[in-house]
Amino acid sequence: MLTIESFSLGPLETNAYLILNPERNKAIVIDPGMNPAALIRRIQDIEVEAILLTHAHFDHMGGVDEVRKLKGCPVYIHDLEAEWLTNPKLNGSVMWPQVSPPLTTDPAEYALDDRQTLQLIGHTFAVMHTPGHSPGSVSFLCGNDLFSGDVLFRMSVGRTDLPGGRETDLYDSIHNKLFALSDDVKVYPGHGPRTTIGYERANNPYV
């Protein structure tokens, strides 16, 4: 059985997730954001198998370097945003100098593709390409738990006015991919509280 811990990191309160298999003391990290000290403390004595990125905006990848160097684990990101990790113009960190210095990190070790499955910490993580907020946005489904990045939030959706964003793609991702899942699937978004597919299908005013 997996446990899921959430850490609200950085000035934009980005949700980083630690998905832990307690029996093996192994975990993965999804979206290690800026100022990851709390996350770093938590993983000191845990083997981290991988860092999974839902997308490469600076507030979601700001802690990649610290986690990767501490734990020696590979990074996974969709190919459409592979260059974003090394380019602060693409990852947006030069757009808000009052929030972040220009951020870069080494390239990811692995590319993600739609419908790919990852075998990590003894469980299967299905990759869903869910563009719209950004061209390479992905969501990860493990059992009944969905990590949606900045695509779907509780009673909201991701913004599409950043470089590479596209409103039609966002709504296509939500309606045709995320809303194809069961009502009881729990949604762990990139910002804000947890929700469910069923609740958002019935109540989200944007969709």
Q: Name the phi and psi angles at 66, rounded to 5.
A: -65, -45
Q: Tokens representing 143? A: 């059992």
Give the model confidence (pLDDT) of 54-71 as tens digits: 999 999 999 999 999 999
CA dist 206 and 89 (Å) reads 29
Give the model confidence (pLDDT) of 159-200 as tens digits: 999 989 999 999 999 999 999 999 999 999 999 999 999 999
Give the model confidence (pLDDT) of 3-45 as tens digits: 999 999 999 999 999 999 999 999 999 999 999 999 999 999 9
**Closest of 55, 56, 11 to residue 36, by C-alpha:** 11
Fold of 3-203: Metallo-beta-lactamase; Chain A (3.60.15)
CA angle (78, 141, 71) in 5-degree steps = 65
* Beta bridge pairs of residue 118: 125
CA dist 171 and 11 (Å) reads 27
Confirm if 39 and 18 have CB atoms less than 8 A apart. yes
**Closest of 32, 8, 5 to residue 19, by C-alpha:** 5
**Closest of 155, 165, 143, 145 to residue 191, by C-alpha:** 155
* pLDDT of 203 strictly over 90: yes
pTM, rounded to two decimals = 0.97
* pLDDT of 96 strictly over 90: no
Average pLDDT over residues 89-115: 95
Dihedral sign of CA atoms 52, 135, 130, 116 in order: negative
Classify 25 as helix, strand or coil.
Answer: coil
Q: Tokens representing 129? A: 């390409």
CA dist 19 and 29 (Å) reads 6
Q: Spell out the domain ranges in the chain.
A: 3-203
Which residue shows structure tokens 């220009």?
A: 102
Classify 176 as helix, strand or coil.
Answer: helix
* pLDDT of 1 strictly over 90: no
Q: Tokens representing 55? A: 């997308």
